[in-house]
Amino acid sequence: MINFYRFIPGCAKLLHPLHSLLCHSVTNKELVWSDDGRTAFTQAKEAIAHATSPYYPKYNAFTPIMTDASDLATGAVLQQRVEGQWLPIYFSWKLSPSERKYSTFDL
């Protein structure tokens, strides 16, 4: 179900504790849940339940884009104002250890 991540704002940051549990795991070894992992799992279920419905963009609608980044992930929202309602498209990406070393700058 988490394949709906494209419709979940901040999905990479939300799932970071779960990815951390798996990144050092050994095959055939019992997974040890942490409080952070349980919280992330619960929040992921909630996010899926409230995920934005997909739609087809309108070529003539007002379409701003907003971006943001943290030490762990990057994200963006491309949204359109259609019939008085904002219709967002989300993107998020968990940064790899080497990507976390990249410098940032403002435009």
Q: What contacts 44, CB < 8 A, 6 or more positions away?
A: 2, 8, 11, 14, 15, 18
Tell me if 43 is assigned to some domain.
yes
Tell me if 79 is assigned to some domain.
yes
Range of the domain at 63: 2-101
Give the end-to-end CA distance of the chain in Å, rounded to a whole number.
36
Tell me if 107 is assigned to some domain.
no
Tell me if 48 is assigned to some domain.
yes
Tell me if 53 is assigned to some domain.
yes
Q: pLDDT tens for residues 11-61?
A: 888 888 888 887 766 666 777 788 998 999 999 888 877 776 667 788 888
Tell me if 93 is assigned to some domain.
yes
pTM of the model: 0.48
Tell me if 40 is assigned to some domain.
yes
Tell me if 106 is assigned to some domain.
no
> What is the total count of domains within the chain?
1
